[in-house]
Amino acid sequence: SAVISQKPSRDICQRGTSLTIQCQVDSQVTMMFWYRQQPGQSLTLIATANQGSEATYESGFVIDKFPISRPNLTFSTLTVSNMSPEDSSIYLCSVEGAEGRDYGYTFGSGTRLTVV
């Protein structure tokens, strides 16, 4: 399965600043997904990022707040802009695994963000 390197693993940020999270995959993938997991909650899809086109955002998420880049088939970034304490969450990127009966979507190790 794909190996994802996500960084930073954690950060503490000041209110009003922005943080860019990077996701590097060891193989070319068509789609990359960004999720948010608020404290004690399940995962919610923020957007789907395809190379060469704008990301597709889910209801409740907007590009101005969560701009995404996808410059090539192995890399993507998610920026959390103008942060507030409500943005404190774990952010995870995900890619579809290799073909096969037992493949699953692989997730990065997550970025634990605390906004103070």
Q: Least distance from C-beta 90 to other proteins, angstroms? A: 6
Nearer residue to other proteins within complex by CB, 1 or 69: 1
Nearer residue to other proteins within complex by CB, 26 or 82: 26
Q: Each residue of 12-36: b (16+ CB within 10 Å) or e?
A: ebeeeeebebbbebeeebebbbbbb
CA dist., res. 103 & res. 101, Å (int): 6
Nearer residue to other proteins within complex by CB, 62 or 82: 62
Q: Least distance from C-beta 98 to other proteins, angstroms? A: 12
- The residues of the shown chain that bind other proteins, judged by CB under 8 A, are 1, 31, 33, 35, 41-45, 48, 58, 90, 92, 94, 96-97, 101-110, 112
Nearer residue to other proteins within complex by CB, 101 or 116: 101
Q: Least distance from C-beta 110 to other proteins, angstroms? A: 5
CA dist., res. 39 & res. 36, Å (int): 10
CA dist., res. 18 & res. 95, Å (int): 24
Classified as helix, coil or strand, 80 is strand
Please name the amino acid found at residue 55.
A
